Each structure stands twice: as structure tokens, then as C-alpha cells.
Structure 1
Amino acid sequence: MNWNNAEFLNPEFLYLLILIPLLAVWYFFMRKKDAAVLSIPSIKGFRTSSFLSKLKPLLYVLRLLALAAIIVALARPRNVSVSKRTKTNRGIDIVMAIDVSASMLARDLRPNRLEALKKVAINFVNRRPNDRIGIVVYAGESFTQTPITSDKRIVKRTISELQWGRLEGGTAIGMGLGSGVNRLKDSEAKSKVIILLTDGVNNSGNIDPRTATELAKELGIKVYTIGIGTNGMADFPWSKDPRTGQLNFRKQQVEIDEDLLKFIASETEGKYFRATNNTELQEIYDEIDKLEKTKIEEFKYYNYKELYRPLVFLALGLLILEFLLRNTLFKSFI
């Protein structure tokens, strides 16, 4: 019998096990009265008791063991095995619209804004096993880096390979948001979300951010906006050394159009966040992860295997053995 996952259906019967030590004590004090007594002046000439007679208490032990087995059987021990099945009732489609302009190389986050974002974004994806995620990148223009997919390996690889310099310069927030909306407009998910991250102001592109916001609102797309960058001055790239190819940095005022980002979030029933360091950026994605949870229904199936039958047979076997020994080997001592 496997007792690893055993439970008792009627555990109150186990209290009867306290009778076992009480009966053992009772037998210890009453054992001398269990045999006939013959009074004689001397035992000389009589053979000393045999080894077999000393085993007589074994009969009582067998009876106690049988009683203990019956008590445990009454408690109805059984093995429980649980199988689980999950059902996702409310899937979420998420588009991460990421600013990859040159200013994302600013070093107010460590090692820079883009690398800090990549680490946090990959952690976020790891916590969304039941959702589909797509990646949109934008600078002076925008395009879909990865369509909405449930393959998290592709999404994480895309994030890890994000680089600046592949798009024309500038920050086209309207185009980044518009591309995200375009990815989600045909989605049949119950919840559609865009996480729009930028570190600047809208200064490029042919789509007005407010127009893209209205489209998102009409399609029921919730937009969480994140402004990334410290308050005050930060080291920004401003030129590249022609001989070494290394970027040169200089102090520059951080400018983020927070009013626009707040407007986008408010109109779409999302939320605006500001990340001024690595810790805050991580906390922001943690909060979004908590706000947008996929509802999962878990079904548990319980399988029971009764264990009392072997105990009943054990008790019956012990009683039969006690009866046979009492009426054969120990008959002359009883």
C-alpha cells in the first residue's frame, strides 16, 4: 500500500487507538490471573517452564494488532491523486510600442535606457505565459518588429536584439501608437493593451498622437504610457567619433511630453507612469503585470483509492493466526 498521499475519511475513529496501550497495561497486570494456579509445597521434581510458554503473551499481541488494524480500517484510509486542468477564460493581446531613437542610449539608467528596458521587458514577457504579445518599434518612423504571437521565444529574441540607428531620427509617438493600434484592430481578444514607452516629445511622423488615441479609444484598446528618463540633466549621445566609431556624450536637459502621455492614458482608460531609474522601470512593469491579469480557471480532479480492505484482511489474518496458535502450540499452557 502506498501511503504517501493518504488521508482518512473518518479520522475520528483513530482516537480509539488509545485503547491499545490501555489494554496492554491491563494485560500486564492481569496476566497471572489468565492461567490456572496449583498450590504445592515444593516444585522440586517439576520441569522448569519451556521457552514456548514464555511466548504466550504473543497471542495477546496478535489480538491487539488485529484491533489496531480494525480501528485504522474504520477511519477509512485512502490514497488521493489530484489531476489539474487549466482553462484560460480571458486572453489578453498586448503590443509593446518601444521608442528606439538615439536618445534611448542616454545613460541616466544603467547601462543606458534601451538596455535597461530590454531586461525589464523580457522579465515582463516571462510572466505572461497565457497572452499574445507583439513588438512595435519607432523613432522618426515606425514598423512592426514582431506581429502578435503566443511564441514567447520569438518575442524575447526580438526584444533582446533591439538597436537604435535602424530608423530615421526623431520621435514619432503618433506613428508608434498608430502601429500598435493597427496590430490590435482585428484582435478577437477580450482585452487589448498597448504599452507605449518613450523618452522624448513627438517631433516626427505623419500621424497625430491624438488621432491615434481616438482610434485606440474607439477600438477599446487600453494604453499604458511610460515616460523614461531622469528629472533634470542626463548624458545624451550627440556625435560619433569618425576614427573609433565610439559615441560621444554630453549633458542635456531631459524633455518628456508628459501632458501628451497622460492624455493618451486617460482617454483610453490606461495609466501614465514615469521611470527615472532602473528600479522604477521594473516596478512600473510589475504594476502593469498586476493590473492586466488573464483570468484562468483551474479544474481539479480527485481520484480516490480505498486502503481499508488490506487492513481488514490483515486483522482477519492475525485473529486466525491467534486462534490457531491458541488451539495448537499453546493449548497445553492455556
Structure 2
Amino acid sequence: MKKRDMTFLIWGSLLLISFTTLLLFLKFKDTNVLGSLGTTGDFIGGYLGTIVSIFATYLIFITYSSQKKELKLQRDLFSQQKFETTFFNMLNVHNELKKNLFLDYRLKRVTGDSAEEDSENMRKFGVVKYGYLNGFEIFEFLRNDFTKFYREFHIHDAGVFDDQINSELVIKSLKEKFDEDDNFFKNLNEDSLNIKPSLAYIDEWDENNNKLETHKNKILYLFSLYFDNYQEIISHYCRNVYHILKFIRENEELESKNYSDKKMAYKKYKQYANIFQSQLNLNEQFLLFYNFIHFNQETQNETYWTVNLVNHYKFLENIGIKNLIFKKHEEFYNFQIKGSDRII
């Protein structure tokens, strides 16, 4: 009940009692009559006193309930303001983190058999690069280079299919791609390559090319092999994305428990996940798409595994099917990606 309504009720009751008393006095103002009404008056007085006491107790209860509701609303408002302040501060930190990323790289690709041909290709394609990258340039570089790196591991010889990494083949491929004194190449050794994941080098015409598990295992291995070299640069960025999503989910869980309206809580916090997603360009989403597959089980609570967080909020649905390395990769997650004809 609103405070104005309560005040009106109290004053209205007092006026009604006063008006009734005045009418009784005017009607029975003769002394004898009033004297004979003494007993009746005592009865009425006791009765009215009880009624007034009950009414006063009710008003106190109404006041308490109203104040309790107002305090709850204030707590909810404070909690929401606290969440939003923390959330947008985390976004600001994330954006600053992106701006301050820095990469010193040396990358050389084999472009031809002669110096003249190499020089022409360099001018035409810019394939020999020595320099520095910062901010958003890093994500574009990583996306393009990892895509090429992934595709170079297709073998075009029929019948070549093994579940063990051929380290000589890997080293040969890397030597063609990198200078031997490049930091990336230095970090590689045969021990790191002689791993036996459930992986195969597959040709685009191979009958196993459409097996989801084959694609996933290949991504898991090559992502680890490639991005371990850049972990000092991008690991903080990726962890920050994870913790923002985890923070959103934790608050959704808390609100669901307090209000038992899970659909409303999800709808509310999905909006914040959408706001966060809108801050990421396609190159960032590409990196996160494959990073989240590689780094999945950070906590014992499955609710907060990266893949489950991404699935819950459909966090990368706007990446676009055409921006993946292969269309089959959309099946790494259980939501429909923009531009896909996949039926969930």
C-alpha cells in the first residue's frame, strides 16, 4: 500500500469516528438521556477501543510490509547498479587491453625460386613481413595466419592417413613457412611434435573429412601448437573474455535463485552478453571461436566451462558461417551460427 493511501485511510477513519461522536452528542444532549446511556456508552467505548486497537495493529503491519518492500527494491536496485558498474568497468578494461596488445614478429614465406620473383611477389602480395603489430592488427594477423597454417596441414597424397603426428613432415612444413631463427620455430622441438592425439592429416577429398571429431581433434592439436607461441600476448585477453562471461552467468544464477524466474533472469543477462559480443570484431570472434574449444574445462563446475558459457548465451552466433575455416566447424557448438542452414 502506498504511503499516500495509508495516510488517507487513517485520517478518514479519525474523521468518521469524530463525526459519529458529534452526531450522538447532538441527538442525546439531554442530561437524563445521557445518564441513562452510561452503561451503553461503556459497552460502546470498550467495543470501539478494541476495534481501534485492531485497526492500529493492522496499520502497523501494513507500514512494516510497505517498508520491507521498499527496502527490498532498494537492495535490488543497489545490486543491479553494482553489477552494471562492475560489468562496464570490465568492458573498459577489456577494450584497453586490446589497444595495448603488442606483437614483434618475423615471418617469411617461400614465394618463388628466384630473388627477382621473390621481390615481385613481395611487392604484389606483401608476403615477406618484418615488423610490429599492435591492437586490432594482431587479431587480423592471427586469424589469417592460423587459417593458412591449418590448411597447410592437408596432405594431398591418397592413402596418407595416420593417427600419429609425423614430426618430420611437421618440421618440413614449418621450415618452409618460418625462418629457422624465428621465435616460433625455436619453440618447437620433436618432443612437442611427437604427440599421438586422435588426429589425422586429411585431404579435402578424404572420406573422413566430414567427421566432426576429426576436425575437432585437428583444431585442438594445431591450435595448441600454433598459439603456444603467442600465449604471452593473447592469453590474458582470452582469460578476460572468459571471466566476463563467467561474471554474467554467476549473476544470472544468483538472480534465478532469489526470484525463481529463470526465463526472465536469462533474458535479462543475455542482453549483457549481447552487449559484450557487440564489442568484438570478426577477427576477435574467430580467435575466441577456436580458443574456447581448446581451453574448455577451467573449473569443476560444468556451468562455467567456456564452451557451456558460449552455448548458454549463443555468444558467437554472429561470427557468420563464412568466417569459419570450414563450415563443419559450426558443429563445435550447439547453437546456430548466422548464415547457417543447420537445424538445431
Q: What's the TM-score, normalizing by structure 1?
A: 0.23
Specify which structure has the bigger relative contact order, considering alpha-carbon pairs within 8 angstroms and separated by 6 or more residues: 1
Q: If you compute each CA radius of gyration, which structure gives the higher value, 1 or 2?
A: 1
Structure (1 or 2) with the greater helix fraction: 2
